[in-house]
Amino acid sequence: MNNTGKFYVTTPIYYVNDIPHIGHAYTTIAADILARYNRLKGNEVFFLTGTDEHGQKVEKAAKEKGLQPKKHADIMVENFKNLWETLNISNDAFIRTTDKEHIATVQKILQELYGKDEIEKRSYSGWYCTPDERFWTEKDLVDGNCPDCKRPVEQIQEENYFFLMSRYQQRLIDYIKTHDSYILPETRRNEVLGFLENNTVGDLCVSRPKHRLSWGIPLPFDDNFVTYVWFDALVNYYSATKYLLPHASRLTPHAEDWWPAVHHLIGKDILTTHSVYWSTMLMALDLPLPKNIFAHGWWTVNGKKMSKSLSNVVNPNEIIDKYGADAFRYFLFREVPFGLDGDFSEEALINRFNTDLANGLGNLMSRSLTMIEKYRGGEIPDAVESKDREDLEKRINGLFSSIQISYDDFIERLQFHHALAQLWKIISEINEYIALAVPWKEKDEGTLSNILYTLAESLRLIAVYLFPFMPGTANEIWRQLGLEGDISKFRFEEIKNWERIKTGTCIKKGRQLFPRIIEKL
């Protein structure tokens, strides 16, 4: 939550030089989980994602296809928008750095920094890595190559504009030290601090001469240059609050209230640009810093780095076609703690699918609804007062009371795998309970009704807690239980308590949620 009680979460804006892969999907789903959770909590949410459309990479990709960069971006942006729809992403806005309002904000900021002598022109010579679009000093190079991508660099001498970032080095160190959760996970925070404390931060070259790169935002004070793509891209988080807001907020005049963001979710490879460049840019602008920058880990594929040359880039659309959007969402956030690196393989996904989704959740759902159908004609029965009802409720309800506390804590700390693990602990305990209680052998009608009511109510609560992670599945459970509406329209407070299902509700047993996958890989 920021100071004004609003929850603003962002993803990186993705380059339109390529089609979306698992890495893009990962951050966007994480932001979606947080956004959906916060809406359920009754918070006002602004969830922003978008595309990074300027710079050399994009210009080069467009040229290879014989297209103007903007035309190329217009085509490529649809791949991202379509994937977000398929994945049930609930972003409130989608920013494109070619939006005229964004361009105007970038130019305004450049002008302001130039006017405040935070940007100055210098003659510069350095080693330039064209694919990465950044300069390196002699000592940065590794065997004469770019230290990041290991490709050859070229020596370039030219005049350029520099943001005087070095001025802010100590202030940034102090800020990080006094704000424990500014950069997370802690290992990343320590890495950034270690870097800042042991190196001299240079000034940041924020321009590119137009003769070398024309596809960028022109500097408002010198038309021979465009701005460096990262300077343009980072500003998106702020510029969006000027013109792209959740519908309700657009109608109010306090747009600036949305800054600062609560979480910038990013991958670990772009931590320096966010924690050093963006933080110091904001300091120079006298703007508040975001509450948190969270850097997640990287996915490898079958143990190997994902790369085009290995042809092992995971296309989320293919996985979703085979296993469904929610199984993909579940796998990514159950398999690996958010913040650590992880390995993706279809084998591991199928394993999770069969164990957790088919045998666990799917089984609980189908056996519960089958029993309600068979023994109570599809109507959720009334629970009757009895000693065993108390015992049963105490047991199951106790499980849900414990999750109410820890679930919030886990999600607020972005420990998504813990939240899911805890939910699945409940699912397997209830499955075990059914196996032991063998309700279908129950002679006493009252006890059987109690058990069936408890199962329906448990499934309803499971759907509530599952909703941020697997919105489609949660709503399907809701619907099959015979409940009205979409979970997104409710608040936790209204639906999180026990005994909210009205007795006599007619279930609508439908398709199996997760039919077991028998395919051999």
Q: Which residues bind ligand MSP (CB under 6 A)?
A: 12-15, 23-24, 26-27, 52, 233-234, 236, 266-267, 269-270, 298-299, 306
Judged by CB, which is closer to ligand MSP: 414, or 487?
414
**Residue 127 one-letter amino acid:** W
Judged by CB, which is closer to ligand MSP: 27, or 38?
27
Distance, CA of 312 to CA of 223 (rounded, Å): 42
CA angle 149, 151, 156 (to 5 degrees): 110
Judged by CB, which is closer to ligand MSP: 15, or 407?
15
Minimal CB distance to ligand MSP: which residue? 267
- Looking at the DSSP bridge assignments, the partners of residue 207 are 227
Residue 75 CB, nearest approach to ligand MSP (Å): 16
Judged by CB, which is closer to ligand MSP: 305, or 425?
305
Residue 46 CB, nearest approach to ligand MSP (Å): 16
Judged by CB, which is closer to ligand MSP: 169, or 273?
273
Residue 227 CB, nearest approach to ligand MSP (Å): 13
Contact (Cβ atoms closer than 8 angstroms) between residue 501 and residue 457: yes
Distance, CA of 37 to CA of 149 (rounded, Å): 37
Residue 11 CB, nearest approach to ligand MSP (Å): 8
- What's the CA dihedral at 467, 473, 477, 483 to 10 degrees? 60
Q: Which residues contact 208 (CB under 8 A, 6 or more apart)?
A: 133, 160, 216, 225, 226, 227, 228
Judged by CB, which is closer to ligand MSP: 109, or 452?
109
Residue 508 CB, nearest approach to ligand MSP (Å): 39
Judged by CB, which is closer to ligand MSP: 31, or 196?
31
Residue 48 CB, nearest approach to ligand MSP (Å): 11
Residue 51 CB, nearest approach to ligand MSP (Å): 8
- Looking at the DSSP bridge assignments, the partners of residue 264 are 10, 293
Q: Which residues contact 106 (CB under 8 A, 6 or more apart)?
A: 217, 227, 231, 232, 235, 239
DSSP conformational letter for 491: -
> Buried (b) or exposed (e) across 27-50, using 16+ Cβ within 10 A?
bbbbbbbbbbbbbbbeebbbbbbb
